[in-house]
Chains A and B, each alone.
Chain A
Amino acid sequence: MTTRTSGVFEEGTAPPLTSPSIAMPAMDFVVQWNRCGITADYLADYLAYAFERRDVARSVITTAANELLENAAKFSSDKKAPVRIAARLRGDVLELEVENVADADHVDALTSVLDALSRGEASSLFASRIESPERGGLGLIILARDYDAQLGARIVSVNGGSLDKTFSVTVRASIAADEVEQR
Chain B
Amino acid sequence: MTDYQIDLESVPSTAVLRGVFRLATPEQYDALFAPLAERVGKAQAPFSVDLTGVVLMNSSGLRALADLVLAARRAGTALTFLGKADVPWQSKTVASLKPLYSGLSVKLS
Contacts and interface: CB of A to CB of B under 8 A. Distances in A.
Interface of A: 33-34, 36-37, 55-56, 59-60, 62-63, 66-67, 70, 74, 126-127, 130-131, 135-136, 138-139, 142, 145-147, 182
Given A130-B66, A136-B26, A59 B87 contact: yes
Interface residues of B, number: 26
Interface string B91-105: 011001101100000
Contact of A135 (B20, B55, B63, B92): B63
B45 to A, nearest CB: 26
A74 to B, nearest CB: 8
A180 B97 CA distance: 22
Contact of A147 (B62, B92, B100): B92
B59 A59 contact: no
Contacts of A127: 99
B9 interface: no
Nearest to B91: A182
B69 to A, nearest CB: 9
**Secondary structure dominating the interface of B:** helix
B75 to A, nearest CB: 17
Contacts of A66: 22, 56, 58
B59 A142 contact: yes
Given A66-B56, A130-B100, A131-B70, 19 more contacts: A34-B1, A36-B22, A37-B22, A55-B86, A56-B86, A63-B89, A66-B22, A67-B59, A130-B70, A130-B97, A136-B26, A136-B60, A136-B63, A138-B63, A139-B59, A142-B62, A142-B93, A146-B92, A147-B92
A182 B93 CA distance: 13
Contacts of A55: 86
**Secondary structure dominating the interface of A:** helix
Interface of B: 1, 3, 20, 22-24, 26, 55-56, 58-60, 62-63, 66, 70, 86-89, 92-93, 96-97, 99-100
Contacts of B86: 55-56
Contacts of A182: 88
A136 B59 CA distance: 8
Q: When A and B form their complex, which 6 residue pairs have the shortest distance between CB atoms, in order from nearest?
A: A146-B92, A139-B59, A135-B26, A138-B59, A33-B24, A37-B22
A17 to B, nearest CB: 24
Nearest to A73: B24
